[in-house]
Amino acid sequence: MLKEGQVRIPSGCAIAAIIDRKGGMINGSEIIKSIALMHDRSNGLGGGFAAYGIYPEHKDEYAFHIFYENAQAHQSCEDFLFRHFNIDLAERIPTKTIDAISNGPDIWRYFGRVNRVRMKNSRLDESEYVVQCVTKVNSAYDGAYIFSSGKNMGCFKAVGYPEDVGEFYMLDKYDAYLWTAHGRFPTNTPGWWGGAHPFNILDWSIVHNGEISSYDANRRYIEQFGYKCTMQTDTEVITYLFDHLVRHHGLPVNVAADVLTAPEWDEIDRMESEKKEYFTNLRAIYSGALVNGPFSVILGSNKGLLAINDRLKLRSLTAATKGSRAYFASEESAIRIICPEPEKVWSVSGAEPVFVPLEIDEREDD
C-alpha cells in the first residue's frame, strides 16, 4: 500500500476550530467535544489537532513533533536535528494507551533554537532555514517525519477517530488560545500517521475539508519556490501557499487568502478601479496559486485564525462568535455543543475569507 507522498489521496473531512482573540486559554477537552460530534464525517483513518500557546515555557524555541517508524530513523534524524539546532529538550510525547489507537510510531518532541553558525553558512533567513531542515528530514530521512515545527504550538495527530486521537494524546492536559481539529475520511486507506491533519510548517497549521482540483497546478506552482510537496495532500500545498505568500512575499494573511480564493473575473470587472486593479494584478500574478475545487480550510497561526471556503461554496463551514471567542466547524451542531448560545452564527461564504486576528502579539518578546 502506498502512503501519502507516494500517491495522491483525495479525502473528505470534518474540521473545527476555536480561538480566543484575547489570548484566553481553552482546554483541549472542548475542541475534542466539538470534533467528536462530527464522528460520521470521518472514518477512523486520521484525526488531529493543532494547539497554539501550549508551550509557554518554551515559547521562543521551535517545538518539533516527530514520528519515528524505526530506531535507525530515530537515530539519523536526531543526528541531523542536533547538528542543525541547539536542542534544549528531547522527550517522548506523553500518550495514553487506548484500544482505538494502535500500531503507532514512536512519537518525540524536541525544543530548540537554530544553530546560528550553520544558519549563517546556509545564507538563509531563520524561517527558511527551519523550513528547509524540515523538508530535508521529511523527504530524505525515511521513517522519520516532522509533523510540527512551530513555536509555542504543536500538532497532534494519528490514525484513528479524532476524539480517540485527542484521548491518546491526552489533550485535556493542554490549554491553548487557538485550537483546530480535523477528522479525516480518506478515500483510500493507507493509514499513515503522517498523513493525518493538521498539516504544519513553522507556525502555520492547516485543517482542511475537501479536495482541491487545482492540486497539481498549485503544487507545481509552489514547487518553483523550493517547496517539496512530499505528502501530496491538499492541506500540505495550501499550507505552503500561505507560507510562501505571507513569509516570502510579505503579503498580509487576508491578501494571501484573496490569492487562494480570488473573486471571479466577472465580479472583478464590475469593481471600482482600485479594487479592480488589485484583484486583476493579484489574479495575473498568482494564477498558479488560485485554489479550485470544493474546500473549507482553517488556517491557524500565531497571528490568528483564517477560515476560507472555496469560490463556489461547495463545502460547508459555519462560524460563530461569543465574547472573545470565535468558533468554526463543518457543522453548526459541532459549535453549539460547546457554545450553546452563540451571539452570532453564520455560514462562511464562498471566496470571502473570515480572519480572526489574535489581539495579543505572540512574538512580542522575540
Partner 1 sequence: MSVNYIPRRFTVVRDKELCINCGCCVRQCSNECHFFGDDGKTVFSDSNSCVACHRCVDLCPTGALRIEKYVCDYRENANWTPQYQQEICRQAETGGVLLSGMGTPKPYPVYWDKILLNASQVTNPSIDPLREPMEIRTVLGRKPEKLTVEKKGKSTVDMPPQVMLETPIMFSAMSFGSISLNAQKSLAMAAKELGTLFNVGEGGLHPDLKPYTDRAIVQVASGRFGVHSDYLNNSRFVEIKIGQGAKPGIGGHLPGEKVSVEVSNARMIPEGSDAISPAPHHDIYSIEDFRQLIWAIKQATGNSKPVSVKIAAVHNAAAIVSGCARAGADIIAIDGFRGGTGAAPARIRDNVGIPIELALAAADQRLRDEGIRSRISLVAAGSFRCSADIVKAIALGADACYCASAPLIAMGCHMCQTCNTGKCNWGIATQRPELTKRLNPDIMYKRVVNLINAWNHEIKEIMGGMGINSVDSLRGNRLMLRGIGLSEKELEILGIKHAGE
Question: Cell triple for residue 78?
Answer: 536526531
Q: Check binding of 131 to partner 1 (CB under 8 A).
A: no
Least distance (Å) between residue 356 CB and partner 1: 15
CB of 160 within 8 A of CB of 14?
A: no
Q: Among the candidate windows 4-12, 61-69, 172-180, 194-202, which touches partner 1 by CB under 8 A?
A: 4-12
Q: Check binding of 223 to partner 1 (CB under 8 A).
A: yes
* b/e per residue 249-287 (b: at least 16 CB within 10 A): eebebebbbbbbbbbeeeebeeeeeeeeeebbebbeebe
Q: Check binding of 62 to partner 1 (CB under 8 A).
A: no
Taking CB under 8 A as the criterion, which residues in 12-51 touch partner 1?
A: 12
Query: What is the DSSP track for 30-67?
Result: HHHHHHHHTGGG--SS-EEEEEES--GGGTTSEEEEEE
Spatial separation of the C-alpha atoms in residues 48 and 338, rounded to whole Å? 18
Q: From the list 52, 64, 161, 221, which residue makes contact with partner 1 (rule: CB under 8 A)?
A: 221
Q: Which is nearer to partner 1, 95 or 254 (CB)?
A: 254
Q: Which is nearer to partner 1, 10 or 143 (CB)?
A: 10
Q: Is 133 marked active-site? A: no
Q: Among the candidate windows 67-75, 108-116, 132-140, 257-265, which touches partner 1 by CB under 8 A?
A: 257-265
Spatial separation of the C-alpha atoms in residues 93 and 173, rounded to whole Å? 12
Q: Check binding of 312 to partner 1 (CB under 8 A).
A: yes
Q: Which is nearer to partner 1, 23 or 293 (CB)?
A: 293
Spatial separation of the C-alpha atoms in residues 273 and 211, rounded to whole Å? 34
- Positions that interact with partner 1 (CB under 8 A): 8, 10-12, 187, 210-211, 213-221, 223-226, 248-252, 254-255, 258-259, 264-266, 274-275, 277-278, 280-288, 290-294, 311-312, 314
